[in-house]
Amino acid sequence: MNAKPDQHNYSLVTAILTWCGLAVVSSLYITIPLVSIFADAFHVAPSQSSWVSSSFSFTYAVGFLFFGTLSEKYGRRQTMLYGLVALCLLSPLLGLVHSLPGLILLRAVQGFAAASFGPVVLAYIVELYPIEKRVTTIGFVSTGFLMAGIIGQVFSSMISINLGWSYVFYILGGIYLLSAILFGGLVPRGEVKKNQVSMGSTFRQIRAVFSNTSLLFCYLVTITLLFSFVGMYSTLGNYLSQTPFALSSNQILLVRAVGIVGMLASPFAGRLAGKFGAKRVLQGGLLLATAGLVIIGISSNLPILIGMSIVFVTGIAISVPTLITLIGSIAGEARAIGVTLYTFILFIGATLGPIAALNLMKFGSYTLTFEVLAFIIGIGLLASFPVKANGNSK
C-alpha cells in the first residue's frame, strides 16, 4: 500500500471508488420506495414515515460541512474507511428496529456516517491521481453517485417485495462489509496531508462565498435539483399504483429502473460544457427536467409518462455535474468550500423534497404535486440566467 505513484493500479482503484460511492449514496434513496410500507407497518401517515428518508438526507448534508475538514487532519483514506466500517455496523441495526422514531434516529446516524465518503473521495482523487487521469476518474465516481439515485430505489424495491423491508438493511450491511474489505485492502493511502485547519476558518470562507451574487443564484438552482428528483420519485410509486395505471409493485419497479437510461447522459455533461459552456448546458438540463415533470403531471398515457421520466432524469443527470463545474469556476480560490456548500445545499433539497411532495399529495392531488415540483425546478431555471459565468463556463 506504500507503492510509488506510478505503481498504483489506477483502473482497479477507480472501480473500487466508483463501487463504494454507488453503495454509500444508494443509502440516501433506498427508503423512497419504502415510505408507504413504513406507513402501513407503523400505522402512520406517509408524510410522517417520509422522515425516514429526510432524517438521513439532513444529517448527510450537515456531515459534508465537517468531514472535508476532518479528513485534512486525519487523512482521506482513513476517514472514508472508518465511514464504511460505521455503515457496515449501523445498517443491519436498522432492520432490527420496530419503532418509527427509532428508525428515524438510526437513519440520521447512518446519514452522518455516509457523509464521510462523498466530499472526501474527490479530494483523495486530486491528491492520488496524476493530472491526466483526474477528470476521467471524477467522472466515473460522480456517475456512480448519480446512478445511486435509481439503483438504490430498484435495489430496495426488489428486496422488500421478495424478502421484506428489514432485509434491505441486512443486505446493505453485507455490501458495506464487502466495500470496506475491498477499500481497506486495495486502495492505497495516497499523500497524507495533515493540514492545520479549523472549523472557524471554514465558516469564514463560507461567509465569503455567500457574498458572491452569482454563487447565491447557483445555490438557488442547487436546492431545486434533488428537491424535485426525490420529490418526484416519492410521488411516482403511489401515482402509478392508482387508476388509471393500477400497476403492480413489480411493474412500478420496472418504471423506476427505466430511469437509469437518463442517467447515462451524465458522463457526457463535461464534454457538452466544454463545447457549449457550462451555463448553457445547465439551462438545457433544467429545461429538460422542467418539461419532463410538467408532462408527467398531465399525462395519463403510461408510455408517455415513462418517456418523460427518462427526459426528467436526463435533465437532472446533466445539471448536477455541470453545476459543480460552474460553481468551481466562479468560486476561484474558494473552489473547495464552494463545492462543499453546493453538496450541502443539494442534499438539503433531498431532505425537503419528499416532505413537500407527500404533504402536497395529502392536501392536493398527484397532478398538483408534479406541477408544483415542476414549478420549483422552473424557478431554478430562471435563477440560472443572472449567473455570471467565467471563461468557457459561459
Q: Higher pLDDT residue, 82 or 147?
A: 82
DSSP per-residue codes, 143-154: HHHHHHHHHHHH
Residue that has been written with the C-alpha cell 468551481 in this structure: 328
| pLDDT of 269 higher than 90 | no
For the four alpha carbons of 95, 100, 101 and 107, in that order, the dihedral sign comes to positive
Nearest to 130 by CA among 285, 21, 270, 13: 13
Nearest to 56 by CA among 94, 92, 20, 18: 94
| pLDDT of 194 higher than 60 | no
User: Strand, helix or coil at 392?
Assistant: helix
Nearest to 257 by CA among 169, 145, 153: 153
Q: 99-108, 242-251, 269-278: which range is least confident on average?
A: 269-278
The pair phi, psi for residue 129, each rounded to 5°, is: -85, 145
Q: What is the pLDDT of residue 257?
A: 94
Look up residue 29 and give its three cell numbers.
434513496
pLDDT digits (tens, 9 = 90+) for 301-340: 999 999 999 999 999 999 998 998 899 889 877 777 888 8
CATH fold of 202-394 reads Growth Hormone; Chain: A; (1.20.1250)
Q: What is the pLDDT of residue 273?
A: 87
pLDDT digits (tens, 9 = 90+) for 150-170: 999 999 999 999 999 999 999
| pLDDT of 193 higher than 70 | no
What would the mean pLDDT of 20-40 be, rounded to a whole number? 95
pLDDT digits (tens, 9 = 90+) for 288-301: 999 999 999 999 99
Q: How confident is the model at residue 200 (pLDDT cuts 50, 70, 90)?
A: low
Chain mean position to CA 229: 10
Tell me if 255 sits within 8 A of 240, measured CB to CB: yes
For 155, 178, 355, 361, the CA distances from 237, given in Å and listed in that order, are 15, 31, 15, 12
- Give percent of the chain with pLDDT exceeding 90: 66
pLDDT digits (tens, 9 = 90+) for 209-257: 889 999 999 999 999 999 999 999 999 999 999 989 999 999 999 999 9
Q: How confident is the model at residue 392 (pLDDT cuts 50, 70, 90)?
A: low
DSSP per-residue codes, 308-335: HHHHHHHHHHHHHHHHHHHHHHHHGGGH
Mean confidence (pLDDT) of the chain: 90
User: Strand, helix or coil at 191?
Assistant: coil
Q: How confident is the model at residue 362 (pLDDT cuts 50, 70, 90)?
A: confident
- The residues spanned by each domain of the chain are 8-188, 202-394
Q: What is the pLDDT of residue 209?
A: 87
Q: What is the pLDDT of residue 3?
A: 44
Dist. CA 253–CA 241, nearest whole Å:
11
| pLDDT of 197 higher than 60 | no
For the four alpha carbons of 11, 12, 13 and 15, in that order, the dihedral sign comes to positive
For the four alpha carbons of 218, 222, 223 and 229, in that order, the dihedral sign comes to positive
Percentages helix, strand, coil for the chain, rounded to the nearest 5? 85, 0, 15
One of 1.10.3720.10, 1.20.1250.20, 3.40.50.620, 3.30.200.20 is the CATH number of 8-188, namely: 1.20.1250.20
202-394 and 8-188 share a CATH fold: yes
Tell me if 120 sits within 8 A of 37, measured CB to CB: no
Three-point CA angle 180, 183, 185, nearest 5°: 100
